[in-house]
Amino acid sequence: MDALDARLLLLLTDAPRLNVLECARRLGVARGTVQARLDRLTEQGILGGFPPQLNLAAMGYGLTAFAVIEIAQGQRTSVSEALDAIEEVCEVHATTGQGDLFVRMVARDHDDLQRVIDAVVSVPGVRRTSTSLALSTPVPPRVRPLLERLAYETNSR
């Protein structure tokens, strides 16, 4: 990945609905260059798509919780698949340390969160959970600082 790739991804991070021609115009390169780079970034697994940023609270899911889950040995795949079937589970990470999986989930309210936690705990292979509520999100998920560093580091080489 070079500086132009990083600048292209920054552009699409800020304005994901831009078409290839407009990206080329803003970057000062040919349309074919932008298309080839998008294709390569997709092939390499760097660019996975263009999902919209959604405000889950505005959609009625005002609670975000994180659970550290301890599972039975050898059950990561089956537990992960079962967690994937729970709609309120937004992401699951296999981790080292205290637990085996780190789960981000959302709920409409406290009663709904209890229902979601009950669903998580009932997954075969789940041994123990520890859940924490998010009170705020001072640093939301982001990639911009990494892209900016790549865009400017590569230029100085």
Q: Is 30 exposed, middle or buried (0-12, 13-18, 19+ CB in 10 A)?
A: exposed
The angle subtended at Cα 151 by Cα 145 and Cα 157, nearest 5°, is 125
Domain 3-52: top CATH class:
mainly alpha
- Please state the rounded mean pLDDT for residues 108-117: 98
142 has a pLDDT exceeding 90: no
Q: Which two tokens stand for residue 7?
A: 């600048």
If you average pLDDT over every residue of the chain, what do you get?
93
| pLDDT score of 38 | 95
| pLDDT score of 135 | 96
Per-residue pLDDT reduced to its tens digit, 117-130: 999 999 999 999 99
Of residues 155 and 89, more confidence is placed in 89
31: part of which helix (H) or strand (E)? helix 31-43
Give yes or no on whether 3-52 and 56-134 have one common fold. Answer: no
Distance CA 102, CA 91 (A): 8
Distance CA 19, CA 17 (A): 6
Per-residue pLDDT reduced to its tens digit, 15-48: 989 999 999 999 999 999 999 999 999 999 999 8
**Domains in the chain: boundaries:** 3-52, 56-134
Spatial CB neighbours of 133, under 8 Å, sequence gap ≥ 6: 63, 64, 65, 113
| pLDDT score of 50 | 76
54 has a pLDDT exceeding 90: no
Query: Would you place residue 53 in the very low, low, confident or very high pLDDT band (cuts 50, 70, 90)?
Result: confident
What global pTM score does this model have? 0.81
62 has a pLDDT exceeding 90: yes
68: part of which helix (H) or strand (E)? strand 63-71
* One-letter amino acid of 152: Y
Pairing assessment for the beta strands 126-133 and 89-94 based on DSSP bridges? unpaired
156 has a pLDDT exceeding 70: no
Please determine, looking at this structure, whether the domain spanning 56-134 carries the CATH number 3.30.70.890. Answer: no
The dihedral through the CA atoms of 138, 144, 147, 149 has a sign that is negative
Cβ-based neighbour number of residue 69 at 10 Å:
24
| pLDDT score of 155 | 54
